[in-house]
Amino acid sequence: MIAPEKRQILIEVGKGRIAPRELANMIEAEARKLAEFKTLELVFTPVAAEGFVTAIDNMTRIQSATVTIARPNVDWTDSYSALSSIADESHAKAIDATVRARRSAGISKENGLIPAIKGWVRGITSPVQGAKIKGEKPGHSGLITVSLSDHVQRVDIPAETGPDKEEPSDEELEQKLRVYFEAKGKENA
């Protein structure tokens, strides 16, 4: 289901389903047949589950952090300007930024990239295509990695089925998804 006015899409993923990148490629290929969309580029960025930020907050020391910012992005702000400039000059579709701590030290959780990542993934539309935070967590020996790909928001939409109805109707699913989108919009307002 697509809510273009909010720049949101729900994609059913799983075995035998089309991957978000493949869907973007298909839409780009079809749209580029029209002159006004010759340069269209789509990137579907994941919606982070709250557990992603919580996992970062639970780290006692962060050794490194890497973020991949998708481009193009209509929501560029001053916090992206340096990355955007480098990406523009490079004609890049995405840009990665990595910060590493000094030996036996940790990356700041209050300033710099960590709060930026947390802020970006909490936004209504996140430019974060991927993120990995490596560090220490109480009760674990050695370093652990918190990855956005392991903390993508999942949505289960309950729908009626029964002996005479193997699958819910498209109209029923669409209505339930609209209610979901409306609720997400109010949460982020």
Summarised one tens digit per residue, pLDDT across range 25-83 is 898 899 999 999 888 888 888 889 989 999 999 999 999 999 998 865 555 455 556 67
Break the chain into its structural domains and give their ranges: 1-44, 46-154
Asked whether the beta carbons of 94 and 110 are under 8 A apart, the reply is no
List 69's β-bridge partners, or say none: 95, 128
pLDDT at 162 over 80: no
Average pLDDT of the chain to the nearest whole number = 81
Q: Tell me the whole-structure pTM to 2 decimals.
A: 0.75
For the chain, the residue count is 189
Burial (Cβ within 10 Å: 0-12, 13-18, ≥19) of residue 94:
middle
pLDDT at 144 over 90: yes
